Structure 1
């Protein structure tokens, strides 16, 4: 498939990067599970740890096409993608600026590991561009952002961050997991490197673990140079499953985004809910900014229960919505960030980010919203009795 031809998003999801089954003429890509390939008299010396098996190479073309970049790279997890990308551009004596609110795994990786490598880091005091500029030092090499953020759905001005970085010759990286390439393509705003936990919306069925990076050929080569030594590759069966999942990503994410907006509006009206965090609500601090850089507002939201309602009891009383780790599956799930995604942070660190015990992160699925609302209503009634 000619990826230079301007294709529609569903066509990209379905066809770009597929492997033709020339032998049996099957309708889907064949899977190549070999871990040993011929090295003599071949165009490519393939080795799974080198990220160049047939299925990996093919799927990387789809990832790149979705993010509008030259190249892509797949990893065994989102954290493998994040850690390898950061370490590929940072070394002893370098400095990185990170936004104030980040996925707990990313935050924990930085504060636990960077000192060992002699890498300096700063977190901004807010998401205002002035605070990013204030943290830049002479040795700053990377600015890392995540928008919408996990779990409070804060929105960063992508274009302003990219412009600021370019003025200083700094590489920009974004965790684009929550938005997905369906809702947001950061390269359009000048970001250099897009990172995903492909476990989430790219996978979408709560059955695979993977990570992905999309960037220029030059940047991907630099990340690959480190990746081959760290060994964060993944099984070709997972690659094949991920290709299958990506075919329906646009359909899934659009439905999840539509459902999430309906659920956010319902929760905002509910007397038992103290606050709702969703960039698609006009009450959201960054609503206008989100509207300017997102196609849809995503399937993720968070809400705080009124203080007298116990968050864990409420979740146990749900019958349809699953209290479950991770996110972005076709099924709706909830979790308490203090118990899961941000449990590695200290209570003081969570408080600084605004993450309270009563906060619930809600990954909205593809179900009928009337059924989700009914489930929340019955769970609330049981909890407050």
Structure 2
């Protein structure tokens, strides 16, 4: 077989990181659920918490191939991956700069935990590289970004951030969940560490909780040393399910991305919608930047309902689209960020980030767009106050 970096994307999804069934020659990977392995007379002393069971090791290869990195690690959740990565490179007295509009769970982790460890942090006022540069101190160790961002789909210039960080000897991390490896590979722009909530597009069926980190072998080794102490390893049953799901990642994400473009264009001309946030629209302020660094614009978008349309009643009136906490499944879902992902922020903090009560985050699935449009139109009629 060719080297993984020379294979097509669908071939990579299907074949890289398979566990070979040497005994029975089955077409799919066998599961090795053991939590206890031999320690004498073996090349590898395996233990689930050490991320080195057969299923774990092979899945790392698939994720690394998808993100074009040397290595990867898989975790129990996106937050397990994010927290392990940050804590692997930060210690008392260090400073990290974080993009202002990020996933609410990441924000809460930073403001709730870093003060306990004496780690300094600063949030930018925008996603512009100048904002990051103005906050750099002598003790700054990490620049942390999220693009497209949750929930307003802002686009950060990865190359500019990477070049700034490298000029100062600073590490870069990105949450690449919204784009997925199909629509964006941050390593192409010099980003050091790539993070995912694998619960989302990598899992893709709303039945897996997982997280992933992809990076160089050196960086993964350092993260591993911290991660084994935090205990965020994924069970091999779920590892097997995730490997199965990744086989269709490209097919799913491409269909969802195509549908999202149709839905964004429909919502943009809908008289009941104030604004649509989607990087694939020419009206998006960073449309040109998105074209440069994304292969596709993704399947996530957000929109603001006009005043006089109740956001919660709108979602309760949906018949096909599911109001649901998570995202990126085959089925289309909506959520109110003020009630869920950013509920831990104060009202003032949410408004500073442009997150209003009428904002709806829309994860577009694989259904026919005309069916989704019909559902939205009937729900809007019912939700008008």
Distance 1:383 1:181 in 2: 37
For 2:31, what is the secondary structure of its paired residue? Answer: coil
Consecutive unaligned residues in structure 1, runs of 5 or more: none
Work out whether 1:170 is the aligned partner of 2:170.
yes
Unaligned ranges ≥5, structure 2: none
- 1:107 match: 107
- 1:382 counterpart = 2:382: yes
Pairing of 1:174-193 with structure 2 (within 5 A): 174-193=174-193
Counterpart position of 1:13 = 13
- Deviation of 1:381 after TM superposition, in Å, equals 1.3
Q: CA RMSD in A?
A: 0.8
Measured in 1, the distance between the counterparts of 2:154 and 2:201 equals: 19
Cα distance in 2, alignment partners of residues 243 and 69 from structure 1: 18
Distance apart, 1:32 and its partner CA: 0.5
Instruction: Write the distance in 2 (CA, Å) between the matches of 1:19 and 1:232.
Output: 22
* CA positional deviation for 1:125: 1.0
Q: Does 1:251 align with 2:241?
A: no
Deviation string 1:34-71 (CA, Å, 9 cap, x unpaired) is 00000100010000000000000000000000000000
Q: How does 1:122-133 map to 2 (within 5 A)?
A: 122-133=122-133
Q: Partner of 1:325 in structure 2? A: 325
Alignment of 1:10-89 (within 5 A): 10-89=10-89
Cα distance per residue 1:1-45 (max 9 Å; x no partner): 553550000000000010111111110000100000001000100
Off by >2 Å, runs of 4+ in structure 1: 1-5
Aligned residue for 1:276, secondary structure, equals strand
What SS does structure 2 have at the residue aligned with 1:55?
A: helix
CA contact (8 A) 1:3 1:65 kept: no
With over 3 angstroms needed to count, the CA separation of the structure-2 counterparts of 1:300 and 1:92, relative to structure 1, is: same
Distance 1:232 1:307 in 2: 43
2:370 alignment counterpart: 370
1:338-370 residue CA offsets vs partner (Å, 9 max, x unmatched): 000100111111011000000000000000000
Whether 2:238 is the aligned partner of 1:238: answer yes
Q: Contact between 1:199 and 1:209, CA under 8 Å: does it hold in 2?
A: yes
3-state SS of paired residue (2:142): strand
Give the secondary structure class of the aligned counterpart of 1:256. helix
Looking at structure 2, the residues matched to 136 and 307 of structure 1 have their Cα atoms a distance apart, in angstroms, of 40
2:4, 2:12 within 8 Å by CA — same for their partners in 1? no
Distance 2:127 2:20 in 1: 46
Query: Cα deviation per residue 1:165-189 (whole Å; 9 max; x = unaligned)?
Result: 0000000000000000000000000
Contact 1:78 1:197 in 2 (8 A): yes
Q: Which residue of 2 is the match for residue 289 of structure 1? A: 289
Pairwise CA distance, 1:156 = 0.1
Residue 306 (structure 2) pairs with residue 306 (structure 1): yes
Instruction: Decide whether aligned partners of structure 1 residues 206 and 4 sit closer, same or farther in structure 2, where only a CA change above 3 A counts.
Output: closer
Secondary structure at the residue paired with 2:6? coil
Residues 132-211 of structure 1: pairs in structure 2 closer than 5 A: 132-211=132-211
Using the alignment, how far apart are the partners of 1:74 and 1:384 within structure 2?
44
SS for the counterpart of 1:377 is: helix
Contact 2:278 2:302 in 1 (8 A): yes
TM-score normalised over the length of structure 1? 0.99
How many residues align? The count is: 385
**Distance (Å, rounded) in 2 between the aligned partners of 1:96 and 1:241:** 35
For residues 122 and 167 of structure 1, the distance between their equivalents in structure 2, rounded to whole angstroms, comes to 19
Aligned equivalents of 1:313, 1:23: Cα separation in 2: 56
State how far apart, in whole Å, the 2-side matches of 1:3 and 1:211 are: 25
- Find the aligned partners of 1:288 and 1:259 in 2 and give their Cα distance: 20
- Residue by residue over 1:126-158, the C-alpha shift from the partner in whole angstroms, topping out at 9 and shown as x without a partner, is 111111100110000000000000000000000
**What's the offset of the Cα at 1:374?**
0.5
Give the drift of 1:213: 0.2
**Which residue is equivalent to 1:334?**
334
Once the two structures are superposed, residues 207-239 of structure 1 have per-residue CA deviations (whole angstroms, 9 ceiling, x without a partner) of: 000000000000000000000011011110000
SS in structure 2 of the partner of residue 127 of structure 1: coil
Give the whole-Å Cα distance in 1 for the aligned partners of 2:149 and 2:52.
32
